[in-house]
């Protein structure tokens, strides 16, 4: 079985303090750590587990700048057989449509049974690439998938609906499956495992190999464009309790008492 | 844009609130563009559902087909293309539900439309529609343009567009032939499945102590269970905690987990992504502790402390024990 998995390299913003960059169209990213998108960590793990269960090969792909090579190296250490890095500086500022298009052009020339992606990325939260990629390649797609089995050339999977409800779906292959977080336990990657794949070449792929030109990627190739970013006003909403840990804890305990909890 | 289409969403024969929220958004936008609002209903039994729709929409386009009983994105794309494929100058609005999350990206490619997902508001800049979204872990707002596209699709964040029924539309239903009859679908619905039930039911708990990513990579869960016991509540969590197998799924609060309505919700190290906040809307008192002053949880909480929960939790339990004596 030929499995392709698409990875995204994003700044870790979940716990970081963020500020707006000059120009007002993005945040300052210089001080942020970059890492594999959390959803995609579950995607590569699922791709590798499918390979281990049904036999096959895993190819990891990312549209990402030079620094992201370490992420693709980590994908190899996680069990991918090969990895490709698509990049040209013109990709800077691309929306989900452009990323899907670049991936589609690359994948079009390669046979595959399943493409596994994460449903969302925490940076733009768009959730666009998986479904778009499927439509561009003319194959069906599914998102928020939390269990996958393959039988008789079909994928049987479970996807999340709201309120603790799931639906079980049967889908023809080839297809794109975008996974939910938590569907597996991503394996621990040791330094030794990374060293073992240190010599594997990760080819870079430029625009000409995709048959795309600079105007078709980045801002100019995107279908939507960020005009302005801004931080929501701080302190909007909650009454913030100040003071030392001790003082704040005492005040919280008092509030709980006032509300009749204690 | 000349037309705003609203996709009616239904599950198990009942219309979902996302339908009405999308209509609420359409009603604020339509006058600004002089646009006409039309509902699109794709279902196995249009007559039952359309009765309610025509009270609010003056025009409903309906396609009936047995395979539209559940939300099949493959079938929905084919139907929406048969309705919208030859049209231009429109905006299609849909709720950003877990079903639409699957439908919208592929649909936008097939329709050749510009797509903005999970929008919580709209703005008009120089006569052009722009969407408001949240990016970077939902901590930054972004104003996004459709770059002058004549075909636009937007999906809407639940809870962002409150709806007031008028029940005065007196609309009509135009039935269109199903394009699905001769075609085999690549995807078929097999069954629904309910999440596993556990030894605690957080949906009925009056006091909930809930933990999120802020507890760190190797947390001592006993610390939080102990606090929950001391306040006489139950322990719950946000999604990352279940993803890491620190607590079972039936402890997860949120739209894809369990919706809770406790008297007091104590959110510890929870940033407050909208999926989580969607699950605590019914709680009258939310108290949040988070080390990030800009965490979205503070926007829905009544009281907040900007602190590391590893310091705050033991201190709080100590103070509570003092009061209880």
Query: What percent of chain A shows pLDDT beyond 70?
Result: 99
Q: Which of B130, B158, B176 is the last residue of a domain?
A: B176
| Residue contact A231–B140, C-beta within 8 A | yes
User: What is the pLDDT at residue B294?
Assistant: 84
pLDDT for res B101: 97
| B73 part of contact set with chain A, CB < 8 Å | yes
Same domain, B172 and B207: no
Do B128 and B215 reside in the same domain of the chain?
Answer: no
Average pLDDT of chain B, as a whole number: 95
* Residue B170 and residue B72 share a domain: yes
Residue numbers of B between 9 and 68 with CB closer than 8 Å to A: 11
Given a contact cutoff of 8 angstroms between Cβ atoms, the answer to whether A139 and A176 are in contact is: yes
Residue B224 lies in a domain: yes
Is residue B211 domain-shared with residue B169, that is, in the same domain?
A: no
How close does chain B come to A201, measured CA to CA in Å?
Answer: 32
B149 & B217 share domain: no
- Check CB contact under 8 Å for B105 and A253: no
Question: Tell me: the pLDDT tens digits for A21-57?
Answer: 999 999 999 999 999 999 999 999 999 999 999 999 9
Residues of chain A with C-beta less than 8 angstroms from the C-beta of B153: none
Domain limit, last residue, from B176, B210, B230: B176
Answer yes or no: is B195 within a domain.
no
- Candidates A256, A258, A259: best to mutate against B (most CBs of B within 10 A) is A256
Q: Does residue B186 lie within any of the structural domains? A: no
A153 in reach of chain B (CB within 8 A): no
Are both B172 and B206 inside the same structural domain? no
Rounded Cα gap, residues A93 and B319, in angstroms: 50
Q: Among partner residues A15, A130, A239, which is closest to B292 by beta-carbon distance?
A: A15
What CATH number has the domain bearing residue B88?
Answer: 3.40.50.620
Asked whether the beta carbons of residue A160 and residue B114 sit closer than 8 angstroms, the reply is no
Q: What percent of chain A has pLDDT over 90?
A: 93
**Length of chain A in terms of residues written:** 262
Residue by residue, pLDDT tens for chain B (325 residues) are 999 999 999 999 999 999 999 999 999 999 999 999 999 999 999 988 999 999 999 999 999 999 999 999 999 999 999 999 999 999 999 999 999 999 999 999 999 999 999 999 999 999 999 999 999 998 999 999 999 999 999 999 998 999 999 989 999 999 999 999 877 899 999 999 998 888 899 999 999 999 999 999 889 999 999 999 999 999 999 999 999 999 999 999 998 889 999 999 999 999 998 889 989 988 889 999 999 888 889 989 999 999 999 999 999 999 999 998 7
Both tokens assigned to A24? 């007002």
User: B113 CB contacts (<8 Å, ≥6 apart)?
Assistant: B92, B107, B149, B151, B152, B153
Per CB-CB distance under 8 Å, the chain B contacts of A257 are: 323
Please give the structure tokens belonging to residue A255: 């509030």
> Does residue B73 sit in the same domain as residue B125?
yes
Residues from chain A that touch B214, judged by Cβ atoms under 8 A, are 15
Count of pairs with CB atoms under 8 A, one residue in A, one in B: 281
B157 shares its domain with B17? yes
Q: What is the pLDDT of residue B186?
A: 96
pLDDT of B197 reads 86
Going by C-alpha positions, the residue among B203, B300, B284, B307 that lies closest to residue A232 is: B300
- Tell me, what's the pLDDT at A235? 58
Minimal CA separation from A208 to chain B, in Å:
23
Model pLDDT for residues A88-125, shown as the tens digit of each residue? 999 999 999 999 999 999 999 899 999 999 999 999 99
Same domain for B19 and B135, yes or no, is: yes
CB contact under 8 A, B140 and A156: no
B113 assigned to some structural domain:
yes
Which are the contacts of A151, defined by CB distance < 8 A and separation ≥ 6? none
Question: Do B293 and A240 lie within an 8 Å CB cutoff?
Answer: yes
Same domain for B23 and B168, yes or no, is yes
Please tell me the predicted confidence (pLDDT) of residue B275: 86
Shared-domain flag, residues B15 and B143: yes
Q: Is B108 in a helix, a strand, or coil?
A: helix
- Nearest by CB to B303, from A27, A235, A241: name it: A241
| CATH code for position B208 | 3.40.50.1220
Share the mean pLDDT of chain A: 95
Structural domains of chain B, count:
2
Q: How far apart (Å, rounded) are the C-alpha atoms in residues B245 and B252?
A: 11
Give the model's pLDDT for residue B102: 97
**Structural domain boundaries, residue B273:** 202-324
- How far apart, in Å, are the Cα atoms of A105 and each of A84, A98, A204? 13, 11, 14
Instruction: Tell me whether A239 touches chain B (CB under 8 Å).
Output: yes
A262 part of contact set with chain B, CB < 8 Å: yes
Cβ of B306 under 8 Å from any chain A Cβ?
A: yes
Is residue B193 included in any domain, yes or no?
no
Same domain, residue pair B47 and B122:
yes
Domain membership of residue B187 (yes or no) is no
């Amino acid at each position: 079985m030929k499995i392709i998995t698409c990875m995204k390299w994003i700044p870790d913003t979940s716990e970081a303090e963020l500020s707006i960059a000059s120009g007002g169209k993005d945040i300052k990213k210089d001080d942020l750590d970059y890492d594999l998108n959390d959803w995609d960590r579950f995607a590569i793990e699922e791709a590798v587990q499918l390979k281990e269960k049904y036999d096959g090969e895993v190819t990891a792909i990312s549209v990402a700048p030079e620094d992201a090579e370490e992420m693709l190296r980590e994908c190899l250490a996680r069990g991918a057989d090969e990895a490709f890095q698509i990049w040209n500086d013109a990709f800077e500022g691309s929306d989900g449509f452009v990323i899907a298009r670049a991936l589609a052009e690359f994948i079009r020339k390669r046979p595959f049974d399943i493409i596994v992606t994460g449903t969302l990325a925490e940076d733009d939260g768009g959730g666009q690439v998986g479904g778009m990629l499927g439509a561009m390649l003319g194959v069906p797609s599914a998102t928020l998938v939390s269990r996958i089995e393959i039988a008789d050339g079909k994928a049987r999977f479970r996807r999340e609906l709201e309120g603790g409800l799931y639906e079980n779906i049967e889908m023809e292959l080839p297809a794109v499956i975008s996974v939910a977080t938590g569907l597996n336990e991503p394996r621990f990657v040791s330094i030794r495992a990374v060293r073992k794949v240190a010599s594997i070449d990760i080819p870079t792929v430029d625009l000409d190999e995709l048959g795309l030109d600079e105007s078709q990627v980045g801002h100019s190739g995107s279908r939507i464009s960020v005009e302005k970013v801004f931080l929501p006003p701080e302190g909007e909403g909650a009454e913030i309790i100040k003071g030392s840990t001790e003082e704040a804890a005492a005040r919280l305990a008092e509030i709980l008492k006032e509300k009749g909890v204690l | 844009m000349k037309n705003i289409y609203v996709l009616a969403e239904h599950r198990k024969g009942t219309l979902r609130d996302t339908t009405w929220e999308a209509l609420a958004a359409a009603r604020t936008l339509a006058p600004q563009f002089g646009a006409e609002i039309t509902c699109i209903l794709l279902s196995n039994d249009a007559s039952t559902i359309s009765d309610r729709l025509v009270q609010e929409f003056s025009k409903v386009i309906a396609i009936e087909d047995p395979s539209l009983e559940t939300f099949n994105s493959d079938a929905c794309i084919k139907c929406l293309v048969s309705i919208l494929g030859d049209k231009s100058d429109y905006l299609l609005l849909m709720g950003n539900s877990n079903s639409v999350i699957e439908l919208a990206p592929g649909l936008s490619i097939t329709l050749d439309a510009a797509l903005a997902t999970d929008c919580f508001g709209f703005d008009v800049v120089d006569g052009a529609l722009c969407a408001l979204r949240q990016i970077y872990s939902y901590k930054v707002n972004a104003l996004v343009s459709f770059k002058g596209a004549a075909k636009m699709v937007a999906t809407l964040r639940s809870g962002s567009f409150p709806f007031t029924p008028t029940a005065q539309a007196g609309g009509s239903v135009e039935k269109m032939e199903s394009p699905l009859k001769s075609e085999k679908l690549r995807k078929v619905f097999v069954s629904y499945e309910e999440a596993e039930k556990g030894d605690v039911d957080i949906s009925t708990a009056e006091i909930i102590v809930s933990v999120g990513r802020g507890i760190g990579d190797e947390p001592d869960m006993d610390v939080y269970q102990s606090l929950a016991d001391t306040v006489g509540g139950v322990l719950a969590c946000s999604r990352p905690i279940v993803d890491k197998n620190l607590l079972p799924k039936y402890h997860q609060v949120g739209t894809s987990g369990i919706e809770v309505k406790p008297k007091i919700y104590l959110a510890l190290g929870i940033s407050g992504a909208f999926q989580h906040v969607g699950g605590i809307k019914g709680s009258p008192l939310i108290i949040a502790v988070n080390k990030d002053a800009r965490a979205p949880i503070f926007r829905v909480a009544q009281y907040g402390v900007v602190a590391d929960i590893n310091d705050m939790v033991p201190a709080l339990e100590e103070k509570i024990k003092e009061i209880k004596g």
